[in-house]
Structure 1
Amino acid sequence: MKTSELRQRFLQYFERQGHRRVASSAVIGPADDPTVMWTNSGMIQFKDVFLGKENRDYSRATTSQKCLRAGGKHNDLDQVGFTARHHTFFEMLGNFSFGDYFKADAIRFAWEFLTGPVDQGCLGLDPSRLWVTVFEGADGVPADIEAEDMWKAAGVPADRIMRFGKKDNFWQMGDTGPCGPCSELHFDRGAHIPGDATPNGEGDRVMEIWNLVFMQYERDAKGVLAPLPKPSIDTGMGLERTASILQGVDTNYEIDLFEPIFEAIWKAAKVRPEDRREHANRTASQVIADHIRAATFMCYDGVVPSNEGRGYVLRKIVRRALRFGRKLGIEGLFFADLAPAVFQAMGDQYPELLAEMGRIQKSLHREEQQFSHTLSAGLKILEASDVSSGTLSGSDIFRLYDTYGFPVDLVEDWCRERSIAADLAGFQQELNAQRSRARAAMKAHDLRLAGDLAVLADLPPTRFTGYDHLESQAHVVALFDAGHKRVKQLSGEGYVLLDRTPFYAMSGGQVGDTGQLRFEGGHAEVLDCTAPAQKRHLHKVVVTGSLIENTAVNALVHAGRRRRVRAHHTATHLLHAALREVLGTHVKQAGSVVDAQRLRFDFTHFAPLEPAQIAEIERLASHQALKAMDTKVREMDIDEALASGAMALFGEKYGDVVRVVQVPGFSTELCGGTHVPNTGEIGVVKIISEGAVSAGVRRIEAVAGEMALELLQADEAMIHGLSRQANANREALPELLAAKDQRIAQLERDLKEAKLKAASGGGSAEQVEQVKGHTLVTALVEGLEGNALREFMDQVRTRHASAVIVLASKTAEDKVAALVAVSPDLPYDAGTLFKTMLPALNGRGGGKKDLAQGGGSNPAGLPEALQALRAAL
């Protein structure tokens, strides 16, 4: 059975059981959840549903979820390639119940799907080769006898059910929150596979394929468990593992999904066909095959290699693959060329990869090139390392590994070639310390619903009326004081939840609205609006008078501010489309901020924008705005929207029904923000800055509408002022400024020559003395620094063929510059001599044997510094 057929059989089976098929979310964690870097399981996209923060219009779901485990709590990176089943990227098949069915149905579904007839859409696995594990009980939580009995009722023989403890059969979302026992299904792959013949033993013979989590408890901060009012189900079955069973192969890497990828790897490698199954070669090829799958989907979802966050993980994955490419004998750049093979293997399920393949390959190719530079830089650092003790220190190895990404195995090779010991124990100690710091950082909890705000999830959702109206009658549903404590009556600072509101809540990069709430006996200034729980608009207010729960209010959005915000938001869509037209379709949104003053737009691109490109982007965006076209906004099914070509921002959450904003003939995007009804409101779009954010990500800032007019007026006032000051018309300003620049440069040269001439005075400033039979020349001057001081040194050297020469120049009340030169025939080191002067000068600097330079902040210490140098001769 092909892997694609297995995937469809699973999803179709659960659709027949009343489950909604939900599309896979991105491999990057949700944008609104700072505790999740990667989607490491199928339940991540449903996390807020399980926590009660979000409601869906279905209570049963099934997915085939793209997952990534390469960092944080779940990190399989170091095992990948060396075992039969570990991956950084894999697919998790899952079925979920949100307070609907529980253990009995979950168990029945699982056993029926695995062992039921193939001609009825099941898998037909041999029941005698399946094992089931259940929770044996621990820490006051009883054994899951209920699940054990249900497995027996489903048809599992009693001798095929085993009990295990918390490590294997108890699941929890975090230190607090939903948790519960779980049951795992394991498959015995046969005696030809090394390992124990029972679950959770050594080796790969018995392999876990499916985990059924029974969420039935809530753990509080004290560790106390309480039954959940709506127990839920979260399951996960490994697609690749199950496919390996159905296809009768010994490892996940032998299934059909990997065949095109291995073909591409072997085409690039120099390993002979008969040597490809040799252990080292097989391991290296498995690493590369896994990593190109992971890197392709990471890049597709907008990750670019960098030195922090998700980009750092991608960089590690790419560079690990490149190292193993070397082990296969692959020379030159090859990794990016493997990405099309991923589409060949998985394009039936993920056809969207094809449109982004150029951008994906360009990002990976750039990282490959960068890594070749890293290797060169790392080797230079190694050559300069202190190995006088015969050992390269662990801290040096770690610095190369962590800061420069230099592979440890290459460090070992370098040391071995020079008979130098590599302090790998010290390196491991540094690495463990870093991991401890990372684990501590990952313990951050989701505080969006801290304090009494947790009640928001239980209150009715807010009806947003702000797309069509800036004023609305509403009632107060709940009040919270400044410390997020729920109150019945509010004065001063606090928060208000309304049953309906025209106030947009900050999301998708757009700021929240401001305005007023008016009520009998007072009013409240709305300073901001956010949605800490989905569809619950929380208004940050300062109340004048006293606002009471259930009071009727008139909610009014600040119209002028909203007008400027929406002009900037639609302008971001125009800029996005213009960027793709000018720079290429590899451009993808990587973040944005839209407020009343300006817009900020981050996008994937690999080089600074040329002035001509910026001008063309402005022209295209402004041309579309000045067409004064009506924008079109429609709500439609998510799949229909994506099929129509609408751009989506990965990392953002989208429901089954989405809002599509279109500037006809130019831009179509999924967006929940507010937009102009007609592009004429935007006027012109003016880019005010462009620069780098991180590797492969650029940022532009721009203004539109009223703010563009303000900018143009300010620029006009500045030019007018300059013209008046220069007593010249504006057209003459460039030529006038160029002439002044030339004049200033000439005056600076003249001043430098005058200072140099005054300082040298034909040698009159030089003091010559004999110290221990060698000539010492000193000269103390003022006003010379940088190149001028070095030119002075060149003049002095022509007059003294064999000497130690010290030049010092006071350049300010608290600044001194100095040079020390030593003739080649003298037994002194300029850098060493210079260091003797530094304490007295409160300075720093250094150099080579013949010349050293630097400076300090204590000119008064010059006599003491010279005396220290004399003593060193």
Structure 2
Amino acid sequence: MSELEWPVSRVRKTFIEFFQSKDEKGGADGGHTFWASNSVVPYDDPTLLFTNAGMNQFKPIFMGTVDPKSPLAPLKRACNSQKCIRAGGKHNDLDDVGKDVYHHTFFEMLGNWSFATYFKKEATAWAWELLTNVYGLEPDRLYATYCEGDQHKGGTVPPDEETRQLWLQYLPPERVLKGNMKDNFWEMGDTGPCGPCTELHYDRIGGRNAAHLVNMDDPNVLEIWNVVFIQMFRNKDQSLSMLPGKHVDTGMGLERITSILQGKMSNYDTDIFTPIFDAIHKRTGVRPYTGKVGKDDSDGIDMAYRVVADHIRTLTIAVTDGAQPGNDGRNYVIRRILRRGVRYARQYLYPPGTQYEAGFFSSLSSIVVDVLGEAFPELKGNPGVGMTPEKVASIILEEEVSFLRTLDRGIAQFEKFAEMDQSAGRISGEHAFMLYDTFGFPVDLTLLMAEEKGISVDSQGYEECMEKQRAKSRGEAKEGEVVLVLEAEQTDKLAKELGVVATDDSTKYDWTSAGSGPRGNATVKAIWDGKEFLSEAKEGTYCGLIFDKTNFYAEAGGQLFDTGRVTTSEAVFNVQNVQKFGGYILHSGNLGSGSVKVGDAAELDVDYERRSLIASNHTSTHLLNFALRKVLGADGAVNIDQRGSIVGPDKLRFDFSYGKPMKVEEVEQVRTLVQELIRGGYPLQKKEVALSAAKQIKSLRAVFGEVYPDPVRVVSVGPVPHSIDDLLAKPDSGEWEKLSVEFCGGTHMDNTKEAVDFSILGEEGTAKGVRRVVCVTRDAARQAKQAAEDFDVRVANAGSITDMSELDREISSMRTDVDAIVMDYVRKDAIKKNIDKLKDKVLAWEKQIIKEKTDSALRWAEALEVSGKFVVEEVDVDGDVKAIDAAMKTINTRAPALPVCLLSRSSKGDKVSCLAVVPGGAGGLDAKDWINAALEKCGGKGGGKSDRAQGAAKDASGFEQAVAAAKAYPASKGLA
């Protein structure tokens, strides 16, 4: 085998085509569906930092929560090569990258899946066929493991004897090995689908019995194939139950199998990495890569090659998919990876006498596009998040330049801290935090540099410092304190044991958006209390009700759920939360009175007034999205994309991609455009249409990473008369650019005028390249404007205050209050500017007062009789430090060798200032001791050096004693 025979592109293609040819019977028809790799940024899965396994995007199928209208719903078998990142969270290989030849932060996971079609027999047979017959691996180098079983976390897992027997068809008993629960039992999380897994391991060396090296982290005996048999469910009480549907989840690392097929002893020696290594060598002049590790890699260059190549792959992929360097979550991980890569490049890859130039690291992203662009076309341009290869490189470059500004200073500071903490044998938590906070060093970089010096880091102390500093960025609190969920076991039981069909919620759109609508009539089909399905729930119970149909809106797409009431002949149930799980709508709340039984007829009464407020904010979110695109992306050079939203009854929050803060003028333009659309009174058009047809509409806006149902609901609004059918009939029409057109299953106003008014309350950044605006409509918008008008009156009244001290106090109070009061963002900015103008008036007055005090001090100093061995005097300048300093300079000019101590107190008695100068240590005096001897009488202190010091106190009641102490100090030193 050779690199020429098995280039990585052929390895990947062969895998996919093999499974595309396989259906559950092994025939050529109805084979595995190729399912394109998901983004590494899992927009639809908040539990993950990054997509870290091939099965991530199929979780709704495994969990039994897939929407019947989702494109995933009809899927039976699938295969692909999934982009994965393991850096941060539960699976984190970042710290190991570079130290060996097999760890990566980004890798490709070749996978094939069965969703309750074939199982163990086919999965093992096809694994063997692909590896030995197609890829041509030597069978005597392969070892299989199976789950040995255990009493585990409250549930018995029997030995997987079936899988063992299947492998014995291909391998001798000594190469079919038991695996423990850690290695051979897979779980999605603390609860959820799980099951035994089987692995195939390959011995790179061969000609020996390597059974004792399996799962022992030997680089030459490596796991290449892992098949999870998802057949169980881990319940909340940790017990295990069997799933009705049994699934197969296969994963094989592309980098590993490629290294084997190319006859390489390391993933880094394959054509996956060699183009990047060649570029590094060419652009730096450093010696070629030799594959050494540990002590053999004495100059650290080979490790730097691996780190830089791995990290630029991860960054190029992640930024293309919409991640950005930042300070929180996945964006902070991206920043850590980038800085780690730049640090290695800067410190190890540039030979002595050469200088690192900003742009080296970011320039390598083009090589990644060349290597991976065919497999993942989005690398050549990802319009979903507005990314091009050039923009990706520029984002990496910007962060690279920013980090380089502090890197050299940071390294120097680290060396100082390492020396200071040498006796303790570890960098203190405070110092590690300072390196992070001041110099931008992620703690893993400090850990790595400390490791290179043979010392450790006080990680606990660092975390304590971080906890004190960490800005708490929390999502909006949602109504309803308790949220019940249905997992795969429950949705399977509903469908197959209880015979409950998916909830029909089509009537949720049958209402009048002004705030009224009909009651729904439904039948109770199931009652869920979070632990079991009940036949009856009694008064006081918190539970979830499932009906055959509902007019309640389940939370989705950023829109909060409906609330309301359900009544039966015997009970009143208060609905506090509504969620959707695999087609079932679960209404959670308290049973206020009576009892509810399965089969009861019920009336469903939605709080339409609350929904009307939500609808007003939701439609305005669409108008806002449209306005932002028009104002910020008018020239086409900037792509404005929605990055998330929360729509509730009180406000809306909208996140979007934009690389810098909005100017106040831009905020005003956006606000004005939305207000014009509201005042225009345009009707909303809403219709379900085929997904493929809807995607052709030229002006359509969709949220990147979101999976849309088919058919999909299209919502449009704007000044051009139209219907959804018009959009579909002429999808390329330029007229539609004047409209807001989006996929949306939410509830909306019938006409924009129902929003009444619109106000933007705030604009801020949430991550690099992502901005957030918070807005309100209706009465809340009017209140925000009224608050600004009221404050305008207050500012105007302040302008008539003639007492500058009183005006200064009012300015301070207004600055505090204006930030606390909810008001229109643009108006607030104008108010702040008007307050600043008033402050300028105060500053001019203060400047004049200071000048008068200084002139007075100079006249006093010129007239002062300077004699004796020292001078201690009170200066009548109301405690003004600048005036005292002016007087001191005059006295020093007149008597340059004389020790002088000057004191002054304010007329209000709330300030004492003291300044001392001792030229050349005259008379053995110390200026710092001198002022502290005086100020301690007033409860104050000062600082400085022995030849000049100053200080202050806040209580002048002991001023006479302070003057006396200042005069006594020289005598205590023998100067009389």
TM-score clears 0.5 = yes
Indicate yes or no: 2:103 matched with 1:86: yes
CA distance in 2, matches of 1:726, 1:408: 51
Counterpart residue number, 1:25: 38
Give the counterpart of 1:160 among 161, 172, 175.
175
Counterpart residue number, 2:52: 40
Q: For residues 506 and 807 of structure 1, do their structure 2 counterparts lie closer, same or farther at Cα, with a shift above 3 Å needed?
A: farther
Check conservation: 2:539, 2:591, Cα contact below 8 A: yes
User: Where in structure 2 are the equivalents of 1:745-760 lying within 5 Å?
Assistant: 745-753=843-851
Give the counterpart of 2:164 among 127, 131, 148.
148
Counterpart residue number, 2:307: 287
1:578-636 per-position Cα deviation (integer Å, ceiling 9, x unaligned) = 33336843544333232344332223433322234334444665666659475465554
1:454-475 per-position Cα deviation (integer Å, ceiling 9, x unaligned) = 6864545433332454543334
Indicate yes or no: 2:770 matched with 1:697: yes
Give the drift of 1:51.
3.9
- TM-score w.r.t. the length of structure 2 is 0.72
Q: For residues 842 and 62 of structure 1, do their structure 2 counterparts lie closer, same or farther at Cα, with a shift above 3 Å needed?
A: farther
Structure 2 counterpart of 1:27, one-letter code: V
User: Where in structure 2 are the equivalents of 1:552-567 lying within 5 Å?
Assistant: 552-556=602-606, 557-558=608-609, 560-567=612-619
CA distance in 2, matches of 1:767, 1:463: 99
Structure 1 counterpart of 2:110, one-letter code: L
1:636-677 per-position Cα deviation (integer Å, ceiling 9, x unaligned) = 448984997865545655567655555632555544433456
Q: For residues 870 and 720 of structure 1, do their structure 2 counterparts lie closer, same or farther at Cα, with a shift above 3 Å needed?
A: closer
1:202-251 per-position Cα deviation (integer Å, ceiling 9, x unaligned) = 64222211111223444556765554454433221112212222333333
Please state whether the residue corresponding to 2:457 is helix, strand or coil.
Answer: helix
Indicate yes or no: 2:407 matched with 1:375: yes
CA distance in 2, matches of 1:21, 1:160: 33
Please state whether the residue corresponding to 1:82 is helix, strand or coil.
Answer: coil
Q: For residues 546 and 529 of structure 1, do their structure 2 counterparts lie closer, same or farther at Cα, with a shift above 3 Å needed?
A: same
Q: Relative to structure 2, which stretch is displaced further, 252-261 or 82-91?
A: 252-261
May I ask how many residue pairs the two structures share in their alignment?
Answer: 842
Give the counterpart of 2:601 among 551, 558, 564.
551
Q: Relative to structure 2, which stretch is displaced further, 256-265 or 487-496?
A: 487-496
Give the counterpart of 1:3 among 1, 8, 21.
8
Counterpart residue number, 2:888: 796
Q: Relative to structure 2, which stretch is displaced further, 667-676 or 317-326?
A: 667-676
Give the counterpart of 2:558 among 489, 509, 518.
509
User: Where in structure 2 are the equivalents of 1:161-560 lying within 5 Å?
Assistant: 161-175=176-190, 177-190=192-205, 198-201=213-216, 203-219=218-234, 225-271=240-286, 280-326=300-346, 327-329=348-350, 330-353=356-379, 354-355=381-382, 356-357=387-388, 358-378=390-410, 381=413, 387=419, 394-395=427-428, 398-403=432-437, 404-406=439-441, 424-427=454-457, 457=491, 458-459=493-494, 460=500, 461-465=502-506, 466-469=508-511, 470-471=517-518, 472-477=520-525, 488-490=537-539, 496-515=545-564, 517=566, 528-531=576-579, 533=581, 535-539=583-587, 546=594, 548-549=596-597, 550-556=600-606, 557-558=608-609, 560=612
Give the drift of 1:89.
0.7
Please state whether the residue corresponding to 2:765 is helix, strand or coil.
Answer: strand
Give the counterpart of 2:137 among 125, 134, 153.
125
Check conservation: 2:561, 2:579, Cα contact below 8 A: no
User: Where in structure 2 are the equivalents of 1:730-749 lying within 5 Å?
Assistant: 744-749=842-847
Structure 2 counterpart of 1:10, one-letter code: F
Structure 2 counterpart of 1:151, one-letter code: W
CA distance in 1, matches of 2:863, 2:586: 75
1:13-70 per-position Cα deviation (integer Å, ceiling 9, x unaligned) = 3343254443333323455544x32222123333454344446444544343221111
Counterpart residue number, 1:762: 860
1:289-334 per-position Cα deviation (integer Å, ceiling 9, x unaligned) = 2111211222233322223322221111101110221211143232
CA distance in 2, matches of 1:95, 1:735: 61
CA distance in 1, matches of 2:934, 2:327: 39
1:680-716 per-position Cα deviation (integer Å, ceiling 9, x unaligned) = 6668765443233344432223345675566556656
Q: Relative to structure 2, which stretch is displaced further, 819-828 or 201-210?
A: 819-828
Q: For residues 449 and 31 of structure 1, do their structure 2 counterparts lie closer, same or farther at Cα, with a shift above 3 Å needed?
A: farther
CA distance in 1, matches of 2:275, 2:130: 29
Check conservation: 2:570, 2:596, Cα contact below 8 A: no
CA distance in 2, matches of 1:521, 1:504: 25
Indicate yes or no: 2:863 matched with 1:822: no
Q: For residues 860 and 658 of structure 1, do their structure 2 counterparts lie closer, same or farther at Cα, with a shift above 3 Å needed?
A: farther
CA distance in 1, matches of 2:481, 2:210: 46
Q: Relative to structure 2, which stretch is displaced further, 46-55 or 590-599?
A: 46-55
Counterpart residue number, 2:83: 66
Check conservation: 2:328, 2:767, Cα contact below 8 A: no
Q: For residues 345 and 636 of structure 1, do their structure 2 counterparts lie closer, same or farther at Cα, with a shift above 3 Å needed?
A: farther
Give the counterpart of 1:614 among 667, 671, 680.
667
CA distance in 2, matches of 1:828, 1:31: 72
CA distance in 2, matches of 1:393, 1:810: 50
Q: CA RMSD in A?
A: 5.1
Check conservation: 2:862, 2:890, Cα contact below 8 A: no
Q: Relative to structure 2, which stretch is displaced further, 70-79 or 251-260?
A: 251-260
Q: Relative to structure 2, which stretch is displaced further, 372-381 or 328-337?
A: 372-381
Counterpart residue number, 1:444: none
Q: For residues 649 and 380 of structure 1, do their structure 2 counterparts lie closer, same or farther at Cα, with a shift above 3 Å needed?
A: farther
Please state whether the residue corresponding to 2:128 is helix, strand or coil.
Answer: helix
Q: Relative to structure 2, which stretch is displaced further, 267-276 or 546-555?
A: 267-276
Check conservation: 1:479, 1:494, Cα contact below 8 A: yes
Check conservation: 1:765, 1:779, Cα contact below 8 A: no
Check conservation: 1:295, 1:314, Cα contact below 8 A: yes
Q: For residues 864 and 467 of structure 1, do their structure 2 counterparts lie closer, same or farther at Cα, with a shift above 3 Å needed?
A: farther
Check conservation: 1:134, 1:144, Cα contact below 8 A: yes
CA distance in 2, matches of 1:847, 1:756: 23
Q: For residues 136 and 411 of structure 1, do their structure 2 counterparts lie closer, same or farther at Cα, with a shift above 3 Å needed?
A: closer
Structure 1 counterpart of 2:899, one-letter code: A
Q: For residues 538 and 691 of structure 1, do their structure 2 counterparts lie closer, same or farther at Cα, with a shift above 3 Å needed?
A: same
Please state whether the residue corresponding to 2:280 is helix, strand or coil.
Answer: helix
Q: Percent identity, please.
A: 33
Counterpart residue number, 1:418: none
Provide structure 1 residue ranges, at least 5 long, that are not aligned to the other structure: 416-420, 442-446
- TM-score w.r.t. the length of structure 1 is 0.80
Counterpart residue number, 1:101: 118
Q: For residues 231 and 575 of structure 1, do their structure 2 counterparts lie closer, same or farther at Cα, with a shift above 3 Å needed?
A: same
CA distance in 1, matches of 2:907, 2:266: 72
Provide structure 2 residue ranges, at least 5 long, that are not aligned to the other structure: 1-5, 24-30, 68-72, 351-355, 473-479, 495-499, 512-516, 718-735, 801-826
Check conservation: 2:224, 2:257, Cα contact below 8 A: yes
Indicate yes or no: 2:653 matched with 1:600: yes
Structure 1 counterpart of 2:645, one-letter code: S
Q: For residues 482 and 266 of structure 1, do their structure 2 counterparts lie closer, same or farther at Cα, with a shift above 3 Å needed?
A: closer
Give the drift of 1:575.
3.8
Counterpart residue number, 1:76: 93
Please state whether the residue corresponding to 2:633 is helix, strand or coil.
Answer: helix
Give the drift of 1:147.
1.0
Counterpart residue number, 1:14: 19
Please state whether the residue corresponding to 1:608 is helix, strand or coil.
Answer: coil
1:126-164 per-position Cα deviation (integer Å, ceiling 9, x unaligned) = 3233221223445575433221101123x3343432233
